[in-house]
Amino acid sequence: MNPKTADRLASAVLWMLGGITLAALIFVVAQILIRGLATALNPSFFLGRPRAFQEGGGVLPMLVSSIYLAVWTLVIALPVSLGAAIYLAEFARTGSKAAAAVRFCADSLASLPSIVFGLFGMTFFVIYLRWGTCLLAGACTLALLNLPVLMRSAEESMRAVPATYREASLGLGAGRWRTVRQVVIPSAMPGILAGTVLTVGRILGESASLIFVMMLVTRKTPSFNPLSNAAPLASNIWYTQTEAIIPDYRRVVDGGAALLLLLVLAVNLAARSLGKAYSRRKGVKTANA
Amino acid sequence: MRKRKTKADDPMARAVMLICSSVCVLGIALIFIFIIRESLPAFRELGLANLFGSQWSPNVSEPVAGKYGMLAFINGTVLTTLGGLLLGAPLGICTAIFLDQVAPRWAAKVIHRGIELLAGIPSVVIGWFGLTLLVPFLAKVSGTGGDGILAASIVLGIMTLPTITFLSLEALRSLPREYREASLALGATRWQTIRRVLVPAARRGILVSVILGMGRAIGETMAVQMVIGNARQAAWGPFQRTSTLPSRIITDMGESSGLFRSALFAQGLVLLVLAMLLILAIRLVNREKESAR
């Protein structure tokens, strides 16, 4: 074939494949929203109580559990991941064996299937530590699951801070810790925040690792006790469609799926605009300084 | 502000940060220890022949009780993963090439955003989509139940697409501009440049993207469980029902105890080992890349 014809043909095929990819994902998102949006945005659904054997139930307790679970997970995972990131980005010497070991373990942790975290959470937190199935066990499991991602995004944001900032601070007589606290972390904040918000999205959507760690009892009312059982929205969608004991379970799952999708999309959008807004503000600041 | 004397390297802070970093090490060690500990009874009392046999009938009430073979589910995992990659890898790699080389800026932006969106969809939501739309569609087309290996493969194709696209795109973007410019300046067409210069140069990064996509497909639980039919037999045909390792674990764990549960943990251990093998494979590919330079 003539190279020019081949080039045109290849371009056409690549355009087509790009189009297929886009069409497929628009189709998936649109289908989920079309079928569930009306239910999801109905206050009697997202502010309503679940019903067991009758129609018209809502998902308020699950929604609250999801958000509460995200809060606890971050409370546990953020300090640890920040500390680890500070070590890797600021304290570890180049070629440090300890840092290499931490990186390898973080990579391994990041590649494990979430069901493995679920098995671990069940044997360790629920059975071995005798916590029983509870929200806190779920939060600890998810903290471990999300640790590598949080750590990596924080480390990358800190590495992106120009070395001159640190040199100036150290040159003025500040110690390493003070430099980290007052110079590096404030400058790396947008990246750290964006990474954190993205993690919230992952927590809201996570279900496989939670099924055995939190008993999926459908609460009628929200609970704020971390040692009580709870069914977050994502796990509850799976549970509802598996058990199918609610007569209008299709409506509940359709609505729940659309609601979850909207939540995750909103969170991801927030992460993006947060990163952008901060970098814009920082740009102005450095220009004035 | 409180004045305090700071030693230049702050050994205290350093120690605290080191402890934080060791949580990763501790976490992976604990996961290994506890998964192995729980699966030990199955290995000890059932033996490898039973555990890696092809029959799964763990309930006492069944005619042939005490069979804990996971071979059928390993088979299901391999087939659905390959099926998912067969769909996701070519589409993902071509989409990455399209975004990097062919697409005008507006189209690249729209598709990039769209795939980011897809990457964020929770797996239960994809599974529900598969169960209520894909499976009925396949049922109508094939005249079968619609669920099974093909449905799971399509769902996995959708789920591996973002991973493969973004990582391949990164590999292509990290190539020096000169490669492309030199090739075009020598009179090569865009397609010749892509095929003969850019893709070969980025092949290791592309390979890593496919391996990571494979990791995602092997471990995917909820979406697969919802569309694969959860039969206990090994299956080969696209419309036959079977199970994968994760889908079997999630289906049976609730009603398991004793050796039954231990056998499920042994399946988890197999998943754990598979994930570690993939990590090692990626390290190997990356090491070759470094020595090739």
Nearest-neighbour CA in chain B from A283: distance (Å): 24
Average pLDDT over chain B reads 91
Cα gap B130→B121, rounded to integer Å: 13
B57 beta partners: B67
Assigned token pair, B182? 């030199």
Superfamily for the A60-288 domain: MetI-like (1.10.3720.10)
Identify the closest residue of chain B to A205 by CA–CA distance. B122
Asked if residue B48 is part of any domain, the answer here is: no
| pLDDT score of A157 more than 60 | yes
Note whether A210 and A232 are within 8 A (CB).
Answer: yes
DSSP string, B217-263: HHH--HHHHHHSB--SS---STT--B--HHHHHHHHGGG--HHHHHH
Assigned token pair, B155? 């769902």
pTM, rounded to two decimals = 0.91
**Low-confidence winner among B80-89, B222-231, B233-242, B282-291 (lowest mean pLDDT):** B282-291
A7 beta partners: none
**Low-confidence winner among A136-150, A213-227, A233-247, B15-29 (lowest mean pLDDT):** A213-227
Identify the closest residue of chain A to B188 by CA–CA distance. A3
**Low-confidence winner among A143-157, A214-228, B203-217 (lowest mean pLDDT):** A214-228
Q: Please tell me the predicted confidence (pLDDT) of residue A156.
A: 92
Q: Please tell me the predicted confidence (pLDDT) of residue A284.
A: 43
Please answer yes or no on whether A79 and B20 come within 8 Å at the CB atom.
Answer: yes
Compare B59 and B93 and report the one with higher pLDDT: B93
Cα gap B221→A16, rounded to integer Å: 31
Domain extent, residue B216, equals 67-292
What confidence category does residue A281 fall into, taking pLDDT thresholds of 50, 70 and 90?
low
Cα gap A42→A48, rounded to integer Å: 9
Q: Please tell me the predicted confidence (pLDDT) of residue A286.
A: 43
- At what angle are helices B149-173 and B71-97 packed, to 10 degrees? 40
Asked if residue B263 is part of any domain, the answer here is: yes
Cα gap A40→A107, rounded to integer Å: 37
Please answer yes or no on whether A238 and B17 come within 8 Å at the CB atom.
Answer: no
Q: A89 vs A76, A158, A169, A282, B7, CA distance in Å? A: 21, 6, 16, 21, 19
**Low-confidence winner among A84-93, A216-225, A247-256 (lowest mean pLDDT):** A216-225
Number of folded domains that form chain B? 1
Asked if residue B20 is part of any domain, the answer here is: no
Task: Name every chain A residue with its beta carbon within 8 A of the beta carbon of B34.
Answer: 120, 123-124, 128
What confidence category does residue A11 fall into, taking pLDDT thresholds of 50, 70 and 90?
very high
Closest partner residue to A3 (CB to CB) among B22, B124, B192 is: B192
Note whether A151 and A212 are within 8 A (CB).
Answer: no
| Neighbour count for residue B70 (Cβ, 10 Å) | 25
Q: Please tell me the predicted confidence (pLDDT) of residue B2.
A: 46
What confidence category does residue B1 fall into, taking pLDDT thresholds of 50, 70 and 90?
very low
Q: Please tell me the predicted confidence (pLDDT) of residue B178.
A: 93
Mean pLDDT of B130-137: 94
Whose CA is closest to B142, among B153, B134, B132, B152? B134
Nearest-neighbour CA in chain B from A282: distance (Å): 24
Closest partner residue to A80 (CB to CB) among B13, B20, B215 is: B20
Note whether A208 and A200 are within 8 A (CB).
Answer: no
Nearest-neighbour CA in chain B from A47: distance (Å): 21
Mean pLDDT of B112-123: 89
Q: A230 vs A67, A255, B143, B212, B256, CA distance in Å? A: 11, 19, 41, 32, 22
Percent of chain A with pLDDT over 90: 53
Interface test with B, best of A25, A82, A147 (most B CBs within 10 A): A25
Q: Please tell me the predicted confidence (pLDDT) of residue B82.
A: 97
Mean pLDDT of B48-68: 85
Q: A203 vs A1, A84, A200, B120, B214, CA distance in Å? A: 52, 20, 5, 11, 22
Strands (E), chain B: 56-57, 67-68
Q: Please tell me the predicted confidence (pLDDT) of residue A210.
A: 92
Q: Please tell me the predicted confidence (pLDDT) of residue B210.
A: 96
Domain ranges of chain A: 60-288
What confidence category does residue B131 fall into, taking pLDDT thresholds of 50, 70 and 90?
very high
Whose CA is closest to A199, among A92, A69, A87, A29? A69
Please answer yes or no on whether B219 and A211 come within 8 Å at the CB atom.
Answer: no
Mean pLDDT of B199-207: 94
Please answer yes or no on whether B24 and A7 come within 8 Å at the CB atom.
Answer: no
Asked if residue B212 is part of any domain, the answer here is: yes
Please answer yes or no on whether A170 and B128 come within 8 Å at the CB atom.
Answer: no
Task: Name every chain A residue with its beta carbon within 8 A of the beta carbon of B253.
Answer: 122, 211-212
Mean pLDDT of B251-280: 93
Assigned token pair, B177? 């501009």
Asked if residue B110 is part of any domain, the answer here is: yes
Cα gap A151→B22, rounded to integer Å: 12
Whose CA is closest to A264, among A210, A222, A175, A203? A203
Q: Can you give the three-state secondary structure of chain A, one letter per residue? A: CCHHHHHHHHHHHHHHHHHHHHHHHHHHHHHHHHHHHHHHCCHHHHCCCCCCCCCCCCCHHHHHHHHHHHHHHHHHHHHHHHHHHHHHHHHCCCCCHHHHHHHHHHHHHHHCCHHHHHHHHHHHHHHHCCCCCCHHHHHHHHHHHHHHHHHHHHHHHHHCCCHHHHHHHHHCCCCHHHHHHHHHHHHHHHHHHHHHHHHHHHHHHCCCCCCCCCCCCCCCCCCCCCCCCCCCHHHHHHHHHHHCCCCCHHHHHHHHHHHHHHHHHHHHHHHHHHHHHHHHHHHHHHHHC
Torsion angle (degrees, nearest 10) of CA B28, B30, B36, B40: 180
Domain containing residue B251: CATH number? 1.10.3720.10
